[in-house]
């Protein structure tokens, strides 16, 4: 397992990139990773078959769409998406998000394609 024992300043790290739906790893504990990403626009509908995913909004307003409901999250609000549940993040304006999920999680889940990031970098 990779661990970094240094202070992790999320705002400083968000300041280092500007692309969207490209997660970066900021921490790893117990085989789970904390990742940050900027979202803008609609992502794709996807499912993680074996991994739950926790979203936390650091800045902006995130709509987490499900087939039966939409959950709107703002700063310091979270939502735990259970494995197997289809979801789609939508950000009308740019959102800064923190995610917690297993190190093995692929961003697009079962919907691999152009938006898939196979190998994530630490930031």
Q: Would you count residue 34 as binding its own copies (CB under 8 A)?
A: yes
Per CB under 8 A, the list member of 41, 82, 84, 112 interacting with its own copies is 82
CB of 40 to its own copies, least distance (A): 20
Tell me the C-alpha distance between 62 and 70, whole Å.
10
Tokens representing 108 are 């697009």
Q: Would you count residue 18 as binding its own copies (CB under 8 A)?
A: no
Tell me the C-alpha distance between 4 and 108, whole Å.
26
Q: Would you count residue 79 as binding its own copies (CB under 8 A)?
A: yes
Residue 58 neighbours by CB under 8 Å, 6+ apart: 10, 11, 14, 36, 75, 96, 97, 98
Tokens representing 9 are 């300043």
Q: Look at the block and give the residue holding tokens 């992790």.
A: 8
Nearer to its own copies, 33 or 108 (CB): 33
DSSP code for 66: E
Q: Would you count residue 78 as binding its own copies (CB under 8 A)?
A: yes
Per CB under 8 A, the list member of 16, 19, 76, 118 interacting with its own copies is 76
Interface residues toward its own copies, by CB under 8 A: 1, 3-11, 26-30, 32, 34, 51-54, 58, 71-73, 76-82, 85, 100-102
């Amino acid at each position: 397992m990779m661990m970094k024992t240094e202070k992790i300043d999320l705002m400083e790290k968000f300041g280092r990139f500007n692309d969207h739906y490209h997660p970066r790893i900021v921490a790893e504990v117990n085989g789970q990773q904390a990742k940050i990403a900027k979202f803008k626009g609609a992502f794709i509908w996807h499912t993680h078959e074996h991994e739950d995913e926790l979203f936390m909004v650091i800045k902006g307003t995130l709509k987490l769409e499900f087939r039966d409901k939409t959950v709107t999250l703002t700063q310091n609000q979270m939502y735990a998406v259970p494995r197997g549940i289809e979801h789609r993040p939508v950000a009308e304006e740019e959102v800064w998000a923190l995610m917690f999920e297993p190190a093995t999680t692929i961003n697009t889940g079962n919907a691999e394609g152009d938006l898939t990031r196979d190998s994530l970098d630490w930031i």
